[in-house]
Amino acid sequence: MIDKEAYPQHPVYDKNTIEFVTVAAEYCAFLESCRRYNSKSFFDKSVKLLSLLYLKTSLLPNLEDSSFSDLQQFVTEASYENIRQNITCLTGQYDEYLEVFQEDMQYSDTPIVAYISEGLADVYQDLKDMISNFQSADIQIMNDALRDCKDNFQAYWGQKALNTLRAMHNVLYADIDWEDDDQPTDNYDDSDLETNINREEIDFFND
């Protein structure tokens, strides 16, 4: 159980932190169960979640310098690849796109091929490691997991999220015939996603 009363002003209990971790947990859970969706509903929810995730991450409060050396990495190469392959099954022919906002562009005169599945899985990897460390209920680990995630957002996966979001937007709002999209869907109603996020806290805040 997390003792909130011992650290009442600590940024890990800030409203923006709670909302960010809640969205991050929903994003990870969504990708872990993404095969329940058909392609159109997958693109639709991915765009909404990724947009909200970017916003919530940008609103995170300032955190103390990361100094804890025992943060664990929970996402293995095999679990990462499983997530990426499941996404590829849904993105199909639309997985590949040309990207100009990449570090490797300084060595190339032409756009570089990028993949929606890889972008979403890269964001997943950072968020899943953060959430898993955060659930330790240790205030130092929680702080450092958030700080590392925020630093990685600024240096790496924030741009990756925007690149992927742009590619998915182009697919979602293109003139595509989705009639043959016969994969399953869980009929998720995300019309009031922002309200739901603001109303809920993930379980380990309430233990």
Q: What is the mean pLDDT of the chain?
A: 84
Q: Is the pLDDT of residue 184 over 90?
A: no
Alpha carbons 16 and 133: distance in angstroms, whole number? 18
Q: Are 28 and 124 in contact (CB under 8 A)?
A: yes
The answer to whether 127 and 120 are in contact (CB under 8 A) is no
How do the domains of the chain map onto residue ranges?
9-205
What is the predicted pLDDT for the residue at 201?
Answer: 52
Q: Is 140's pLDDT higher than 60? A: yes
pTM of the model: 0.83
pLDDT of 57 reads 97
User: Which stretch of 22-26, 91-95, 138-142, 164-168 has the lowest confidence by average pLDDT?
Assistant: 138-142
- Fold for domain 9-205? Four Helix Bundle (Hemerythrin (Met), subunit A) (1.20.120)
